[in-house]
């Protein structure tokens, strides 16, 4: 897995080739400008793609990541590159969703994080995967992830 030294520059603001795999992708973090406040940061990634490790067919999902940061925020360009690195990677829905959540928790050490992977059906059945870590601080408002249960998802 590619590691960055503490002095390595962020990918933000410079050309960054797409990583070939999630193992090669680097997630950057930046300082939280409001470490004294509990708030939710949300990333919605409506075009997540991963390859089925058995059939090689693409699987498509909407990923929604919510977290309450401590000292660090994930830098969004690096997150986009990381999530796009799954395009040619073979993994089951559960492995992707939980693995992404664990990687973000390891990097950011947030107070709370949840990820929802809302996969479009193949073979007539959608598989949705949900994972969370930490404890939601009291009084923090977290909106619903707002991805409809499968009825065409449109």
Phi-psi region of 66 (alpha: psi -120 to 50; beta: other; left: phi over 0): beta
Burial 9-35 (b: 16+ CB within 10 A, else e): eebeeeeeeebeebeebbbbbeebeee
| Residue 145 near residue 116, CB atoms below 8 Å | yes
User: What is the 3-state composition of the chain as percent helix, strand, coil, each rounded to the nearest 5?
Assistant: 15, 30, 55
Q: What size, in residues, is the chain? A: 154
Could you confirm whether 96 is annotated as catalytic?
A: no
Spot the catalytic one: 28, 36, 38, 52.
52
Spot the catalytic one: 28, 59, 66, 96.
59
Q: Which stretches of the chain are assigned E, i.e. beta strand?
A: 29-31, 41-51, 58-68, 72-74, 112-119, 128-134
| Residue 19 near residue 85, CB atoms below 8 Å | yes
Could you confirm whether 52 is annotated as catalytic?
A: yes
Write out the catalytic residue numbers: 52, 59
């Amino acid at each position: 897995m590619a590691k960055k030294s503490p002095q390595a520059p962020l990918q933000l603001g410079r050309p960054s080739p797409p990583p070939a795999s999630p193992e090669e992708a680097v997630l950057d973090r930046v300082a939280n400008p409001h470490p004294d406040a509990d708030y939710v940061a949300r990333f919605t990634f409506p075009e997540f793609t991963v390859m089925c490790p058995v059939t090689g067919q693409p699987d498509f999902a909407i990923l929604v990541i919510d977290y309450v940061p401590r000292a660090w925020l994930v830098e969004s360009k690096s997150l986009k590159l990381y999530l796009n690195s799954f395009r040619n990677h073979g993994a089951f829905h559960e492995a992707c969703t939980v693995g992404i959540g664990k990687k973000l928790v390891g990097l950011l050490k947030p107070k709370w994080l949840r990820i929802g992977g809302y996969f479009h059906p193949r073979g007539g059945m959608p598989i949705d995967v949900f994972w969370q870590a930490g404890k939601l601080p009291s009084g923090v408002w977290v909106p619903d992830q707002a991805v409809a249960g499968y009825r065409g998802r449109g």
